Chains A and B, each alone.
Chain A
Amino acid sequence: MRGREWARPVRPVRREVLSATPELEEGRPPLLFVPGFGHGAWAFAEHWLGHAASRGFGAYALSLRGHGGSGPAPDATLRAYAHDVVQVAASLPRQAVLVGHGAGALVVAHALARYPARAAVLVAPVLGGWGTLGAALRGNPLGTLPALVGGPLRLTRRQLFSRELPEEQARAYVSRLGRAGRRAQWQLLTGRAPEPPVGDPPVLVLGSPDDRVVPAATLTRAARRFGSAPLLFPGMGHDLMLDARWSEPVDAILDWLQKEPTPSA
């Protein structure tokens, strides 16, 4: 019973969705990539969308409201972000796989309680709580503190990428980062844990032990919550989809999907 939500529907907003579709429709489930705070759909359009399409998966990425090419939303909440994900997922031709990166994984976890995804993948998930804050403070005190008082969260090149990515490229990516809504940032720390997913989707967690935003212990904990162990890609930064060796994690996701055809019944 969600009377409160029914009584106050989320305001609609223009949503940017980028996509790459395979030449041949082979009946594979479409993938919907959900970027984390500060990132837009562009982060997946760089490499992963095209790559997934080349392996026969319809691939879509959205920008959460207030990010990338979506409409502005300074007062966005986590609920509004999850709403954006479910809206786009429901507009796809078939039951979709949700892939969330960073705080986008938390948004996906919330969305899973409101949309029966075919499967879900959490990439370097930031699932919230005060532990997240500790890790962020340790990794980047100057960029994190302003976020506590409602300012933007500033992530650095060194947190997001490995040294293998050319300096200039990394700088260009960092300059494209935006910011999440103030309330959503707070809810990341203090918000309620997501409700359990509907439809029992299989969930895969992956990340890098050398991620300077999400510590390895967090990955293990996140994976345990869904009854599995994380897939690890050592030597990569937080932004696995943009880092130099971007193809390894996305290939791992697609391999997993081919092996895990239906939700566990």
Chain B
Amino acid sequence: MSTSTDHGRPDPDAGTLALTHDGRPVADRGDTVCVIGAGASGLTAVKNLKEHGFGVDCYERETGVGGAWNWRHDRSPVYGSTHLISSRPFTQFPDFPMPDDWPDYPHHSQLLAYFERYADHFDLRSHIWFGTEVVRVEPVAGDRWDVTTRSTGGYGPERTSRYAAVVVANGHNWSPKLPRYEGLEEFRGEIMHASSYKDPAQLRGKRVLVVGAGNTGCDIAVEAAQQASRCWHSTRRGYWYAPKYVLGRPADQVNDALLALRVPLRVRQWLYHWTLRLTVGDLTRFGLPKPDHRVYETHPIANSQLVYYVGHGEITPVPDVTRFHPYGVELSDGRQIDPELVVFATGYLPRFEFLDPKIIGDDEGAGRPRLWLNAFTPGHPTLAVAGLVQPDSGIFTLSHWQTVLFARLLRLRRTRPDRAAAFAGKVEAHAGERYSGQVKDSSRHWFEVGHADYLRAVQRALHDLEGNR
């Protein structure tokens, strides 16, 4: 756990060769690559760049690795009972498996232990500056980048270092998305976003309304069913609530067995509807709305317990919230309910405050960049975003291959500039490409990818880059 060694760290006093455009000194870090964030995606970026022979400086505003999975972090969105939704083989890094005697769906504390072991195993911590926040990333001549950092919390001086390339791995599940409602300010009950929900004790004995049916909303509704005196669950559409196990195996493993056989989407959708019919049956009899879409057209929900509790009357499904009153909440069917606590499990939005949004093609500044393979920016061949995907599987395998691809690209910029240029052409031509079937329009689907389609696209890009095909 050496975080004290100075190995590979920028030293602002040595190597100060240049000035920023507004005249501040810059430490030139030569061919070193900068990685922003030491969550799962940042860690795999550091490892893969290192493996390809690059020097790496990683900045992490928190004090430990693991990002979202480190519950000690203020911004961690995990709650006490969080378990994986994607089963183990889908979630682990492809070249560093989780122990095979772990459960199919490990607990968040196991995930953190896994990332800490990954960091130690590949000796990544010596590359990470903890407690250091990136505040600005600016392009300079020669496709290089000036990265300005300061101590987390804003005190201490700013420092600027110049890098050959930057990997943005800042995560997209930490900045809460909070919808606006009329009357919300006058509401006398308690309100929280799911990101501050940690422990079921927060629900005990209360009348609770949970808004949103992503995986977070469903988990919290289940805990409210167990702990609260009353639980309403508000959704603005019907969903397919998939069990974590089907046919005796984790559901994603069954799905991939079908994908490996190249069973077409329509047939898989039909099989899925049919298995659901055999088990839980038609959910509208419980008052749940009928889904307005087919299976696989919204981000998958994996929750075996929600339907169980609805069937036991412990969760009351209700439609969308229309407005708040001081002592009640009005629903779109005109009903009024009186919760004491409202939990908004309405998801998260990505944020890239340190970058001029135009650089990543996010012209409106909404946090929705326009990239190729959800990672590469037209016109900026030395910038990559890692982990900006919402797959129907684990994220980490995808981040791994994204960063391998970027490391190979950076290497080829020196050895085969022609191939690197061809790659840049592809980024230009295909930015904005999608890798999923049709999905419902919602901010939660901005980065939705089908893991099989996506990984094949990355594999093709790797082959083309290496000239194998």
Contacts and interface: CB of A to CB of B under 8 A. Distances in A.
4 nearest CB pairs, A to B: A265-B53, A7-B257, A12-B100, A7-B256
Nearest to A116: B95
19 contacts: A1-B455, A2-B94, A3-B259, A3-B260, A9-B88, A9-B100, A10-B100, A12-B100, A83-B100, A87-B99, A90-B97, A92-B121, A93-B120, A93-B121, A94-B120, A94-B123, A114-B94, A116-B51, A263-B51
B459 interface: yes
B51 A199 contact: yes
B94 A90 contact: no
B95 A9 contact: no
B460 to A, nearest CB: 11
Contacts of A91: 99
Contacts of B52: 265
Interface string A192-211: 00000011100000000000
Interface in A13-46: none
A68 B252 CA distance: 35
Nearest to B51: A199
A6 interface: yes
A95 B121 contact: yes
A5 interface: yes
Nearest to A86: B97
Contact of B256 (A3, A83, A87): A3
Contacts of A95: 121-123
Contacts of B121: 90, 92-95
B434 to A, nearest CB: 18
A161 interface: no
A5 B94 CA distance: 11
B10 interface: no
Nearest to B91: A6
Given A90-B96, A90-B97, A1 B456 contact: yes
Interface string B45-76: 00000011100000000000000000000000
A5 B99 contact: no
Interface residues of A, number: 28
Given A94-B121, A115-B96, A9 B253 contact: yes
B445 to A, nearest CB: 22
A171 to B, nearest CB: 37
Interface string B238-261: 000000000000001110110110
A115 B260 contact: no
A6 B89 contact: yes
A83 to B, nearest CB: 7
A198 B89 CA distance: 19
B40 to A, nearest CB: 16
Nearest to A91: B99
A31 B94 CA distance: 21
A246 to B, nearest CB: 30
Nearest to A201: B51
Contacts of A259: none
Contacts of B51: 116, 199-200, 263
Contacts of A115: 95-96
A93 B119 CA distance: 10
A4 B95 CA distance: 16
Interface in B257-309: 257, 259-260
B25 to A, nearest CB: 31
Nearest to A113: B95
A115 B400 CA distance: 13
B100 A7 contact: no
B447 interface: no
A99 to B, nearest CB: 18
B101 interface: yes
Contacts of A114: 94-95, 97
Interface in A37-92: 83, 86-87, 90-92
Q: Name the residue among B122, B256, B452 with the largest chain A CB count within 10 angstroms.
A: B256
Nearest to B102: A12
B187 interface: no
Given A4-B257, A83-B100, A265-B53, 14 more contacts: A1-B452, A1-B455, A3-B452, A5-B89, A6-B90, A8-B257, A86-B97, A87-B99, A90-B117, A90-B121, A92-B121, A95-B122, A95-B123, A114-B97
A86 to B, nearest CB: 6
A12 B101 contact: yes
Nearest to A115: B95
Contacts of B455: 1
Contact of B100 (A3, A87, A93, A200): A87
A87 B256 CA distance: 22
B293 to A, nearest CB: 24
Interface in A89-133: 90-95, 114-116
Contacts of A9: 88-89, 100, 253
A1 B459 contact: yes
A115 to B, nearest CB: 6
B403 to A, nearest CB: 13
Contacts of A7: 89, 253-254, 256-257, 259-260
Nearest to B88: A9
Contacts of B260: 3-4, 7
